[in-house]
Amino acid sequence: MTTRDELEATIARIVQPGKGIVAADESMPTITKRFKAVGIDSTEETRRQYRQLLFTTRGVSEFVAGFILFEETLGQKADDGTPLAEVLVRQGVLPGIKVDKGTTPLPNADGDLITQGLDGLSERLKAYKAQGARFAKWREVYGVTDRNPTPLGIEANAEVLARYAAICQSEGIVPIVEPEVLIDGDHTLERCYEVSDAVLHAVFNALHRHGVRLECMVLKPSMVLPGKGHPPKASPEVVAANTLEVLRRNVPAAVPTINFLSGGQSPEEATANLNALGGPRRKRARRSAGVLSAAEDEQPRARRQVPRGAGEGSVTRVSALARI
């Protein structure tokens, strides 16, 4: 099987109707915080037991196409000695892997961050693939202020995402490309729209420059939302209209699937907005100011799959990405 054949086989499984992706790739600090909230110590063994419980859920493959794993999980085994990645495979679910190494300040772009982890990525991907991983995830973050992200921040982060995606595809791994425009701050919905438009434009230009095969990638964007500190809330219809408009303007039709992150929204708000995104064709709504209140970071983020044909124009499939 050629590398292209591998990529096409993986993306075909990811975009199965009625299925989504579960992000179970919590970092050590995040899962420690979540375990502490329910009185559980975060140890290698408790984390293994938790992931095993998720992966062995009866009927999980009916709704889940893939799990994004933390690096520790990829090397762990079930009680019977079966690697956890193999447990997923036997369930009919694809194992994926978070591969970025977190953010650091971007020099000469005050207030912007850049994600690390490109050094040695090809070698790491080879090892992850040998352990069963078939897709990967990399996240770039964009804080929003009157001046951020800067033009340098937008271009530098797009370049890193494209390099990551190209390296993944060269190793037969489908990349999830995640440019997250943060909800933190008091910016307006109009400002979020402006930033999201610029970010996605830069990302797809960079993907094109690096020869990334768009048919074999997953886009994981945030919705167009006002900042947490800018009331009142925007309605799901306004969020959906603005989000779809940005996607139509920037996402080529070749991209087979768009899996949203909630980006700090509560499960109820994320679900309402996703339902609005997945509804029938809607009139374009004029952008209006507002805010969606956010859940605490440790609160589980719930999403739900929505049907094909959710958007118009270039948006071919809008679906959900669930976080445990």
Summarised one tens digit per residue, pLDDT across range 183-232 is 999 999 999 999 999 999 999 999 999 999 999 999 999 999 999 999 98
Tokens describing residue 50: 């938790």
- Of all residues in the chain, the percent with pLDDT exceeding 90 is 80
Q: Strand, coil or helix: what is 255? A: coil
Contact at 8 Å (CB) between 60 and 93?
Answer: yes
Contact at 8 Å (CB) between 239 and 276?
Answer: yes
- Residues taking part in catalysis: 178, 220
Tokens describing residue 311: 């958007």
Domains of the chain: 3-323 (3.20.20.70)
Q: How many residues does the chain have?
A: 324
Statement: residue 116 has pLDDT above 50: yes
How far, in Å, are 98, 239, 324 from residue 72 at the CA level? 10, 36, 16
Statement: residue 315 has pLDDT above 90: no
Q: What pLDDT band is residue 321 in, cutting at 50, 70 and 90?
A: low
What letter does residue 280 receive in the DSSP assignment? S
Q: Give the phi and the psi of residue 193 in degrees, each rounded to 5.
A: -60, -45
Return the closest-CA partner of residue 277 out of 296, 262, 256.
Answer: 262
Pairing of strands 174-181, 135-142: parallel
Compute the 3-state secondary structure of the chain and give helix, strand, coil in percent, each to the nearest 5.
40, 15, 45
What pLDDT, on a 0 to 100 scale, did the predictor assign at position 307? 32
Is residue 264 exposed (0-12), middle (13-18) or buried (19+ Cβ within 10 Å)?
buried
Q: Strand, coil or helix: what is 287? A: coil
Q: Give the phi and the psi of residue 317 in degrees, each rounded to 5.
A: -155, 130
Q: Rounded mean pLDDT of 127-151?
A: 98
Contact at 8 Å (CB) between 312 and 281?
Answer: yes
Rounded distance, CA 56 to CA 49, Å?
Answer: 11
- pLDDT tens-digit series, residues 121-135: 999 999 999 999 999
Is residue 53 exposed (0-12), middle (13-18) or buried (19+ Cβ within 10 Å)?
exposed
